[in-house]
Amino acid sequence: MIYITSTSTPTLTPTSSAVNVVSMFPNPIRGSNGTTLQIIFSEPHDYVKVKVYTLSFRKIYEDQVNNASAGLFAYYVDPGKFKGNLAIANGLYYVTMTTPTQNWMVKLLILR
């Protein structure tokens, strides 16, 4: 007598979610000009937080956009609105974008 049994083997199936990459243009920024952050969201988000830090992680800018829809999200970063409205020094800064489910960090170079 022959017995045939079957066993299941779990396999990983990739999901359809795309990798979201933040682009920033122009970078570096010169003079008093700002820069635009862009990302394509595959789903809407309750909020998007944008923060700018110095190399020593001192926060010099923070803003929040509520109810970001799916698709292209663009955000203009204006150095004139940085903490204290002081002239921002030449150098490298970190820009973070945060949603309820993801975080991104990009580097911003300022040349005056």
Tens-digit pLDDT profile for residues 84-109: 666 688 899 999 999 999 999 999 99
Tens-digit pLDDT profile for residues 39-62: 999 999 999 999 999 999 999 999
The reported pTM is 0.78
Second CATH level (architecture) for the domain 23-111: Sandwich (2.60)
Question: Distance (Å, rounded) from C-alpha 14 to C-alpha 104?
Answer: 22
